[in-house]
């Protein structure tokens, strides 16, 4: 039987929130389009972009260049650019790449069905980049088309009001707006019905969840409501801003059965003067106090972080403070970024930029240090038995995840995807563990 559906190919750059938005696009287009993994087969190609660092933008332009011959061969093919770069550049993208048909920001993507209809009616170059202050993520009745059977992400809030001076997010994702708890709970229910067992709640700053709802809700209350209704579900969230990490939220790590022992808490720098210039609104002393509380409440909790090196004005001393911080906290994993100037942000006007060579050197130094610390942290898990949810299995290889978010590789030829098993950890590697099943 020939499908009545056209084919859509989605390419996603950037963060988990973009991954979620891509699923949302597939969901809202599912009346007319089915996903295809092949760009050559597609009637519609959507590129969901990220503008957090400049490199992500370059990737978009080279991809658009590669898609041009495809469009020449197949004039009916439609190309849309969505996400943060689309929001930032808007109509300017059409002059840079006239073979694009639609440009839609993170809020505008919900207008895709309408825009595609308008293109079919003969319109060209449609841009949807208005940012509404009171934007609400619409509720859609068809389920999210998830690809991985066990793990999924659910956006609980959109936008950010923090304006860290390096960050483009508040400009491209707009003001903070939370989804009502009932929308979130019904989306989680639908994912659980599809077999999902591990859910990460997403927001730029989940700690401010619920403040702007007609009936305000605190984030820990949302966690309690989810844990109460889905006690079997592994629950995680990201990202948490250190300035707003409350005692109530910390206590959830000991009181909620489903909440996994894992927190991503971006520190960005170990220097108080850089944190001030970044507008982060906490000091290193306050950060360390929260880490201590977390470890007291939930011994063994996995703590991960983001570090930016080479922020304008970062001296050798400031950088050494970051190095010391890594030694003090001993994160399980860190995500490292070379500062990248983003047009329109406050830091883009700072004149004391750090030379590229120095940024590179500092990045290398941080990576090397963390490679050692990370491995030492992982080695502490050797010879223990850990609860592992199996996410993938092929041939003799199974791959699972601990509650603390460690990836575990297991040599075993069994069909266990979706099951939680006990695993004896034999060896720690960089960023993963090796183990065997325990009967």
Beta strands 157-158 and 177-178: pairing type? Answer: antiparallel
- In the bound state with ligand 5AD, the residue whose beta carbon lies nearer, of 241 and 403, is 241
CA distances from 83 to 68, 112, 259, 263, 357 (A): 20, 12, 30, 26, 31
- C-beta closer to ligand SF4: residue 137 or 160: 160
Nearer to ligand SF4, 32 or 272 (CB): 272
308 binds ligand 5AD per the rule CB under 6 A: yes
The C-alpha torsion from 23 through 26 and 30 to 36, rounded to 10°, is -120
Cα 163 to Cα 363: distance, rounded to the nearest angstrom:
24
Name residue, tokens 């609980």. 156
Q: How far is the CB of 239 from ligand SF4 (least distance, A)?
A: 6
User: Least Å distance between CB 165 and ligand SF4?
Assistant: 9
Binding residues for ligand 5AD, total number by CB under 6 A: 12
Nearer to ligand 5AD, 102 or 347 (CB): 347
Residue 51 exposed, middle or buried by CB count within 10 Å (0-12, 13-18, 19+): buried
- Contact, 261 vs 301, CB < 8 A? yes
Minimum CB distance to ligand SF4, residue 178 (Å): 15
Please report whether residue 158 would count as binding ligand 5AD according to CB under 6 A. no
Q: Which is nearer to ligand SF4, 8 or 167 (CB)?
A: 167
- For ligand 5AD, the closer CB: 353 or 419: 353
Give the one residue of 218, 248, 306, 361 binding ligand 5AD; rule: CB under 6 A: 306
* Beta-carbon count within 10 A of 12 CB: 20
CB of 10 to ligand 5AD, least distance (A): 21
257 vs 260: CA distance, rounded Å: 8
50 contacts: CB under 8 Å, gap ≥ 6? 13, 14, 15, 18, 56, 83, 84, 85
Q: How far is the CB of 423 from ligand 5AD (least distance, A)?
A: 31
CA 407 to chain CA centroid, nearest Å: 17
| Binding residues for ligand 5AD restricted to 332-371, rule: CB under 6 A | 337, 339-340, 342
Nearest to 144 by CA among 189, 200, 77: 189
Minimum distance of ligand SF4 from residue 99's CB (angstroms): 32
Is residue 242 a contact residue for ligand 5AD (CB under 6 A)? no
- Whole-number minimum distance, CB 167 to ligand SF4, in Å? 3
Taking the least distance from each CB to ligand SF4, the nearer of 82 and 158 is 158
Footprint of ligand 5AD (CB under 6 A): 52-53, 166-167, 266, 268, 306, 308, 337, 339-340, 342
């Amino acid at each position: 039987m020939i499908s009545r559906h056209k084919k859509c190919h989605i390419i996603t750059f950037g963060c988990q929130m973009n991954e979620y938005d891509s699923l949302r696009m597939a969901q809202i287009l599912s009346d007319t389009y089915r996903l295809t993994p092949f760009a050559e087969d597609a009637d519609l190609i959507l590129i969901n972009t990220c503008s957090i660092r400049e490199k992500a933008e370059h990737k978009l332009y080279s991809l658009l260049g590669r898609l041009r011959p495809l469009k020449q061969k197949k004039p009916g093919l439609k190309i849309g650019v969505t996400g943060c770069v689309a929001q930032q550049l808007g109509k300017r993208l059409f002059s840079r790449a006239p073979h694009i048909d639609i440009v839609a920001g993170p809020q505008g993507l919900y207008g895709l069905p309408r825009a595609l209809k308008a293109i079919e009616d003969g319109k060209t170059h449609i841009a949807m980049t208005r940012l509404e202050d009171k934007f609400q993520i619409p509720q859609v009745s068809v389920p999210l088309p998830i690809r991985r059977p066990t793990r999924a992400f659910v956006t609980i809030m959109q936008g950010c009001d923090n304006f860290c001076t390096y960050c483009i997010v508040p400009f491209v994702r707009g003001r903070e707006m939370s989804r009502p708890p009932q929308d979130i709970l019904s989306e989680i229910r639908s994912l659980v019905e599809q077999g999902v067992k591990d859910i990460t709640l997403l927001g730029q700053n989940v700690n401010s969840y619920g403040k702007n709802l007609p009936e305000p809700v605190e984030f820990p209350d949302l966690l309690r409501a989810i844990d109460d209704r889905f006690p079997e579900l592994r629950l995680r969230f990201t990202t948490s801003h250190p300035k707003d990490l409350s005692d109530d939220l910390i206590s959830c790590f000991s009181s909620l059965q489903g909440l996994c022992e894992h927190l991503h808490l971006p520190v960005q720098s170990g220097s108080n003067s850089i944190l001030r210039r970044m507008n982060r609104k906490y000091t290193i002393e306050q950060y360390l106090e929260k880490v201590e509380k977390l470890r007291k409440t939930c011994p063994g909790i996995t703590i991960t972080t983001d570090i930016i090196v080479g922020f304008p004005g970062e001296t050798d001393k400031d950088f050494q403070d970051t190095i010391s911080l890594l030694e003090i906290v001993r994160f399980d994993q860190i995500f490292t970024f070379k500062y990248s100037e983003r047009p329109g942000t406050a830091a883009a006007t700072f004149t004391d930029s750090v030379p590229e060579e120095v940024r590179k050197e500092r990045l290398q130094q941080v990576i090397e240090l963390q490679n050692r610390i990370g491995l030492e942290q992982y080695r502490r898990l050797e010879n223990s038995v850990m609860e592992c949810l199996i996410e993938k299995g092929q041939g003799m290889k199974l791959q699972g995840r601990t509650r603390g978010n460690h990836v575990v590789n297991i040599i075993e030829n069994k069909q266990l995807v979706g099951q939680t098993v006990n695993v004896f950890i034999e060896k720690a590697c960089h960023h993963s563990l090796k183990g065997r099943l325990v009967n």
